[in-house]
Amino acid sequence: MPPQEITEAVAAIAERDGVTVLKDPYRDDSNGRWIVKIRLSPDDLEPHPDVPRETDWYLHLRDTYPADSIGVYPADQEENTITATFPHQKLNVAGSDDTPWRRGDICVARYGHTLSQTGATGEPSTSRDRLCWHMDRALRWLSNAAKGELREPDEPFEIPAFDTNSASATTIAFNETQESFSDWMTAYGQWGTVNLRSLPTAEETYATGTFKDSDDEVVYQPQWGGYIDSNPDDSVSGAWALLEEVPIEPPWEAPETWEQLDVFFEGTETDPYELRANIKPVLDDEPVKILLIGFPIPATVDGDPEIIYWQPIEIKEFKDPNDLSGGFRDTGKGPEIAERREAGEEQIRWLDSDNWSHEQLTRRGHMTEWFLDRNIVLIGGGALGSMVAENLVRAGCQQLTIIDNDTHEIGNVARHTLTIDEVGGNKATAIADRLESIAPYAQVLDVDSAFPPSGELPEPIREAEVVIDCTASRGVRRALDAIRWNHPVVFCSAAMGRRANRLFCFTAYSHTFPYSDYNEAFDPWRLQEQIEWDEDEDAIPERVGCWHPASVIRTDRVMTWAGTVTRLLDQATALSLRENHFTVLETGSDDDLPTISKATPPFQDGTIWRAPESPITVQIPATCLEAMYDRCRKEHPCETGGILAGTDRLDGPALVVNARDPPRDSIQEPTRFLRGTDKVEEWLKDARESIGIDYLGEWHYHPDASPDISRDDRTAMNEIANDDGYDCPHPLLFIVGQDEEGQFSINAYLFHDSKEYEQLEQIDNPDAASTLNVGDDI
């Protein structure tokens, strides 16, 4: 029994005008579908020799109906059927001996615009309505077929269906564009030879090489990438002939015999039988004998021709004049006479073909046009770099140079585009080979060298119009800063954070990489990353028995950022000369869904303090202040405090990044606080070596009192200023006070080893004062 959904759908179409159910659903085990025989009779059908008043059809429905595709096939070997092929129909040849339908499934859903629809988006999804919708459109398909209105003027041009079932499974890849069309406009009606390069694909595929005319003059030389250019020797000779129009017989059928094809050569310089005789010496000894039939096609139905399309023919064998009945005189015309007498009714063995041109293969999506023919240099073939490079090529970029001197190791496979086959080889070389195998238009060079290469810069680098750095190396960025190009270059330096929860992408348009601008933008983030780094969680031994730390980053996160880099590159084309842009994006933890947002810059919400006499400014972020206030609330009514740690910045205020809680051995009482020393020295040493922050001073809490400095505070801080162990001659002291309403206030003080101190002033504009490192002598 058919599924209930199919039973309901068939009952619904039986009530439709113009639809008659001739046979209830039955199971066809050969294709695993339910078959329904119907008859269609549109009310408005006009007379047409190939469209009977009533036509019988077979519907193909899957078990999953109303999901999946619906087939509508003409009946076979019956009076009430369609045997011709129309536009928007698969090749309507006879089916197999044990099936009562032909193969000409009509396209009622995929070509919605041909039936006064905007597409198949309006197709209903319920079991009763969906099949009715298909039947309504099948009736309209028949009406339009009889009127000759299946093709609308503005719809994409459709290549007729060529019967390739009788030939070998060989495909010809050609490379034709609007630009190459002009090379062929003077060759209509002519013929010649073509070099066909065998490609190492799973199916037998040949790519077109040089086209020559009958006088052995080059007519057209397609420009291929490295994948096809690397196979120049493994080739065969073929032939070509160029028609002046698409070989279509009404209603929409390609020629099936040489006699039918002869019609399309009429009025040209080429006779097809003479052509067969002329190309026999070229093709006779080849393992496959291929003749390309070319014709101009438009982009839309009523448009002007703008590209040459090649449909290949496999010639099984040429005719032998010695086999002619009655004999022949050897006048030189024997081969032509043999072909004319014997080949006319011969079935044409059409082969499959595909246009592998750059503009054709990038129709599904490509980068901004500006990038597609630029010379791009990518430095760093690691996880991020290899994926960025692959994105560039798949998005249409044609000229790429990869620079990397590292070896591809087995550990790289976890998050790299290369495979086990390339382990032990140079990354740049292996990536270049892979990229050329992805796109036939790609020319990818490899430079097995660190950057910059020693000696004179290679030409691909000197001529680079786009330079992408995926090394996360300060040395590479410095090297880029030292090179000056004669022309402006789009620069992109992309790196992931330690956990890959962030992407840092700096783009610029200039004659040299603006290293100082990059550093100014990235420095706060470098510190933020160091602070967040957890060696126990973020690194593991590379392999058992050694301690070579490897970062724990999943490949899906790398893929996300690699795709984002190419998006940001697209945006970089809007940069003006000497303009740059720094973007930081971040996503959630590994357990979260990958939502990405623009990251909030670190340390931007801090309070700035300035010394009234010394040229010193200090910034303390709100996060540190809040950490201090939380500790004060927790220990109230006792005094408390801790260590201030941070960093000196040459181009900005000294930055406090950690207001540490009091050590365990600290004394915390209502009227006294003595900061302990337990593990303080170890913590400071670790912070200095792993994070890059140093001791800057102390913080202290006065419960229910103003944040004024006491004599004991001054004594303690002066001792610290003069203690070489702290290595901080100008320590800071932040005092937190609290009023009667529980509101916190804060004062800041700067001490000197001369036992003097200054109370700092809070300012709004960090640029209002010059800067001096807190640890420097005055």
| The three-state (H, E, C) secondary structure of 25-40, written as one string | EEEECCCCEEEEEEEE
Residue 383's closest CA among 540, 551, 568, 597?
551
**Dist. CA 505–CA 493, nearest whole Å:** 6
Contacts of 204 (CB under 8 A, 6+ apart): 168, 169, 170, 171, 198, 288
Contacts of 533 (CB under 8 A, 6+ apart): 498, 690, 691
Cis peptide upstream of residue 66 (ω within 30 degrees of 0): yes
Dump the DSSP string for 604-634.
Answer: -SPEEEE-SSSS-EEEE-HHHHHHHHHHHHH
**Structural tokens at position 721:** 């200023």
Residue 241's closest CA among 292, 196, 176?
292
Other Cβ atoms closer than 10 A to 675: 20
- Write the DSSP symbol of residue 768: G
Residue 446's closest CA among 462, 461, 467, 424?
461
Q: Within 13 Å of residue 705, how many CA atoms lie on the same side as its CB?
A: 16
Contacts of 383 (CB under 8 A, 6+ apart): 412, 415, 416, 553, 555, 558
Three-state secondary structure call for residue 305: strand
**Dist. CA 669–CA 166, nearest whole Å:** 97
| The three-state (H, E, C) secondary structure of 431-495, written as one string | HHHHHHHHCCCCEEEEECCCCCCCCCCCHHHHCCCEEEECCCCHHHHHHHHHCCCCCCEEEEEEE
Pairing of strands 191-199, 399-403: unpaired
Select which of 339, 639, 719, 756 is catalytic: 639
Q: What are phi and psi of 716, to 5 degrees?
A: -65, -40
**Dist. CA 496–CA 518, nearest whole Å:** 15
Q: Is 18 left (phi over 0), alpha (psi -120 to 50) or beta?
A: left
**Dist. CA 452–CA 109, nearest whole Å:** 56
Residue 712's closest CA among 673, 760, 751, 678?
673
Please confirm, yes or no, whether 639 is among the known catalytic residues. Answer: yes
**Dist. CA 769–CA 607, nearest whole Å:** 14
Which residues are identified as catalytic?
639
